[in-house]
Amino acid sequence: MSRPHVNTRSALAKARNHGAAGSGVTHWWRMKISSLLLLVLTIWLLFAFQAMSQADFSAAREFLAAPWNTCMALLFSWTLFYHAQLGLQVVIEDYIHSTWLATTFTIGLRLLALLLATLCSVLILQVALNPSAAGV
């Protein structure tokens, strides 16, 4: 008896990663995790805003150079641009119907987010490592 096409993969394995986006729930998960992180970091942002509301230049540098603040500022910068890039990608996919144009925009967007996150990191670390001296 010949049974040529026996597929041993389970129904779940066959369905996995083949949704409309072609990548399963990956984007959704990243959005959730980055949202939760931003939720916490936004509370730090409000705290920083309060601390900065009266601060002059040297006080602002000192604030940013305190280890926990340096840490939160870095995490905020990374999560902010990560979440924004993921979110804007969805907006692009919704409104730009040409696949190659949407892909081009998404790649450009990712590079821009990477650039801005890196810029923020460099600025934060420059201040943190040398709080008493001005940069330029």
Partner 1 sequence: MSKQQASRPLSPHLQVYKPQITSVSSILHRITGLLLSAFSLLWVSWLLAVYSSATTYDSFRQLLQSWPGKLLLLLAGWALFYHLMTGIRHMIWDSVHMLELDSAKRSGWVIVIGSLLLTGLAAGIWL
Residues at the site binding ligand HEM, with contacts judged by CB under 6 A? 31, 35, 38-39, 42, 80, 83-84, 87-88, 90-91
Strands (E), the chain: none
Return the exposure string of 45-58: e unless at least 16 CB atoms fall within 10 Å of the residue's CB, then b: eeebeeeeeeeeee
Kindly state whether residue 8 participates in binding partner 1, applying the rule CB under 8 A: no
Residue with tokens 């920083």: 48
- In whole angstroms, how close is the CB of 123 to partner 1 at the nearest point? 4
* Piece of 9-17, 100-108, 121-129 that binds partner 1 (CB under 8 A): 121-129
**Interface with partner 1 (CB under 8 A), residue from 56, 67, 97, 100:** 56
Distance CA 127, CA 83 (A): 25
Kindly state whether residue 119 participates in binding partner 1, applying the rule CB under 8 A: yes
